[in-house]
């Protein structure tokens, strides 16, 4: 049964695909409104920009011929802007580690030459300051503690935001004096740069998918398949950015997208400085031990959303989870792999419920970072709290539904847009 936040907006929907889909629709539409139930005016808004951060395999707003990561055939960023919110969409390395992605996110927002840090690059053996990663037209150059931002991450984007929060705060030695200011000097920005952190379908505690698969490149291909990328074709320049300049890995002449993906994963999958490691349950636990509320910016509010689209099926020896009828066909095999596997790692020690998933990530992993750290969450009651994760509930959507990729009818698209409008209303109401 879904747990719904308090102070809900009432919206009527139509043209629902099924009763099951209706449950997901209602869950999204009852997303909390402004705390205390007060109406929000333009003067009440904190006016902090909202920055959207994509997950594993994601892409920028100018790529894939305009097919948006955030929205698919429509554009969540532009819908929010039309409603009066200041919103930007970031683009970081789709397969890079959270450290590398967080560094890129910092300079993409603030501006300047990407610098991954001398110690980090010596440890992992990649280029420190790739020439091709210079941001001269940043998203929000005035960003500082007096001009904070809201960061919203889908999937791995949530982990990336948390890493950035640790690099900004500099509470632990590895995160101190890594970033550079506008003059190029190393500095630790400190707390206050982030107003809020929101994670959507984020594998805070890893996903069994990356424990169980022996072909992570196929997962990347599946995500690109949603955007109908021709895996057998050669990727044209500017169509999709793999952004692996720090590793000096680039497409070779005549190499297809599938061949290039496989080469990337063959070269990097054994490295702890690559996405595959931190998306596994063991890698996520190590990540949580280093990046948590004790090392991140404690002044930021934290919100988490979980999604699921599997159904529990009792068997004599176990409770297994199978995809329901609304699951994106591209994710049926991955949903089954997570939901049926007899041997899976359960980092939260919760038993068969760990198998519930959205086609890519275990649903219980999305609530908060718990394995490997002392972070906690509470079910949101209408009053945002700091120092804890505000868990906003579990909604009946698959991993890509929630960012608009399979919303076919106008009514379905309107529902997703309303979800993000409600989220923006909540974020900009924060004190």
Is 358 marked active-site? yes
Q: Which residue segment(s) compose the domain that 323 sits in?
A: 19-230+270-428
pLDDT value at position 24? 46
Residue 342: pLDDT band with limits 50, 70, 90: confident
Instruction: Decide if 244 is inside a domain.
Output: no
Residue 243 lies in a domain: no
Query: What does the pLDDT read at residue 44?
Result: 59
Task: Kindly report, residue by residue over 397-431, the tens digit of the pLDDT.
Answer: 999 999 999 877 888 899 999 999 999 999 999 99
- Residues 124 and 120: their CA atoms lie apart, in Å, by 6
- Report CA torsion sign: 223, 194, 117, 63: positive
Q: Give me the catalytic one of 27, 97, 155, 429.
A: 155
Q: What is the DSSP letter of 6?
A: S
φ and ψ at 190, to 5 degrees?
Answer: 90, -175
Give domain status of residue 372, yes or no: yes
What is the Cα–Cα distance from 56 to 92, expressed in whole angstroms? 10
Asked whether residue 161 is domain-assigned, the answer is yes
Write down the catalytic residue from 358, 375, 398, 401.
Answer: 358
Mean pLDDT of 235-241: 85
Q: What confidence category does residue 31 fall into, taking pLDDT thresholds of 50, 70 and 90?
A: low
Average the pLDDT over each of 17-21, 34-38, 284-288, 353-357 and give the range with the smallest value: 17-21
**DSSP states of 23-75:** HHHHHHHT-B-SGGGPPP-GGG-----EEEE--TT---TTSGGG-BTTTBTS-
Query: For the domain that residue 328 is a member of, what is the CATH number?
Result: 3.40.50.1820
- Residue 32 in domain: yes
In a domain, 238, yes or no: no
Q: Residues 273, 399, 405, 422: which is the catalytic one?
A: 399
pLDDT-wise least confident of 143-152, 224-233, 375-384 = 224-233
How far apart, in whole angstroms, are the C-alpha atoms of residue 224 and residue 23? 28
What global pTM score does this model have?
A: 0.92
| 155 is annotated as an active-site residue | yes
- Residues whose CB is less than 8 angstroms from the CB of residue 62 and which lie 6 or more positions away in sequence, other chains included: 238
Q: What is the DSSP letter of 89?
A: E
Number of domains in the chain: 1
Residue 10 lies in a domain: no
Residue 262: inside a domain: no
Per-residue pLDDT of 76-120, as tens digits, reads 999 999 999 999 999 999 999 999 999 999 999 999 999 999 999
pLDDT tens-digit profile of 122-149?
Answer: 999 999 999 989 999 999 999 999 999 9
| Gap between the Cα atoms of 2 and 114, Å rounded | 42
Q: How far apart are CA 227 and CA 68, in angstroms?
A: 9
324 is catalytic: no
């Amino acid at each position: 049964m879904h747990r719904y936040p308090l102070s809900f907006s009432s919206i009527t929907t139509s043209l629902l695909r099924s009763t099951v889909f209706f449950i997901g629709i209602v869950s999204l539409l009852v997303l909390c409104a402004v705390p205390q139930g007060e109406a929000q005016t333009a003067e009440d808004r904190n006016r902090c920009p909202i920055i959207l951060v994509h997950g594993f395999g994601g892409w920028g707003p100018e790529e894939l011929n305009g097919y948006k990561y955030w929205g698919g055939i429509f554009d969540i960023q532009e819908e929010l802007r039309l409603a009066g919110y200041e919103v930007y969409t970031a683009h970081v390395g789709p397969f890079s580690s959270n450290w590398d992605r967080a560094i890129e996110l910092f300079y993409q927002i603030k501006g300047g030459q990407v610098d991954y840090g001398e110690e980090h690059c010596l440890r992992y053996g990649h280029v420190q300051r790739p020439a091709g990663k210079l941001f001269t037209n940043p998203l929000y150059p005035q960003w500082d503690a007096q001009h904070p931002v809201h960061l919203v991450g889908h999937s791995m984007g949530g982990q990336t935001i948390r890493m950035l929060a640790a690099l900004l705060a500099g509470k632990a030695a590895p995160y101190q004096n890594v970033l550079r200011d506008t003059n190029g000097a190393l500095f630790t920005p400190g707390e206050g740069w982030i107003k809020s952190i929101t994670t959507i379908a984020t594998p805070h505690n890893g996903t069994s998918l990356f424990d169980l698969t022996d072909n992570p490149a196929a997962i990347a291909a599946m995500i690109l398949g949603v955007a109908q990328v021709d895996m057998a074709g050669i990727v044209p320049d500017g169509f999709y950015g793999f952004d692996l300049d720090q590793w000096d890995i680039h497409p070779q002449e005549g190499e297809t997208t599938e061949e290039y993906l496989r080469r990337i994963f063959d070269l990097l999958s054994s490295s702890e400085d690559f996405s595959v490691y931190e998306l596994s349950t063991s890698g996520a636990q190590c990540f949580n031990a280093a990046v948590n509320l004790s090392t991140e910016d404690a002044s930021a509010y934290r919100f988490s959303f979980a999604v699921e689209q599997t159904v529990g099926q009792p068997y004599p020896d176990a409770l297994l989870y199978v995809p329901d009828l609304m699951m994106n066909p591209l994710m049926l095999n991955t949903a089954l792999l997570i939901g049926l596997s007899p041997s899976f790692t359960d980092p939260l020690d919760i038993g068969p419920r760990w198998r519930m998933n959205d086609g890519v990530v275990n649903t219980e992993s999305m609530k908060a970072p718990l394995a490997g750290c002392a972070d906690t969450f509470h079910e949101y009651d209408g009053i945002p709290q700091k120092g804890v994760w505000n868990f906003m509930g579990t909604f009946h959507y698959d991993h890509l539904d929630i960012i608009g990729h399979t919303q076919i009818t106008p009514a379905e698209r309107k529902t997703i847009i309303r979800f993000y409008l409600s989220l923006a209303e909540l974020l900009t109401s924060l004190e």
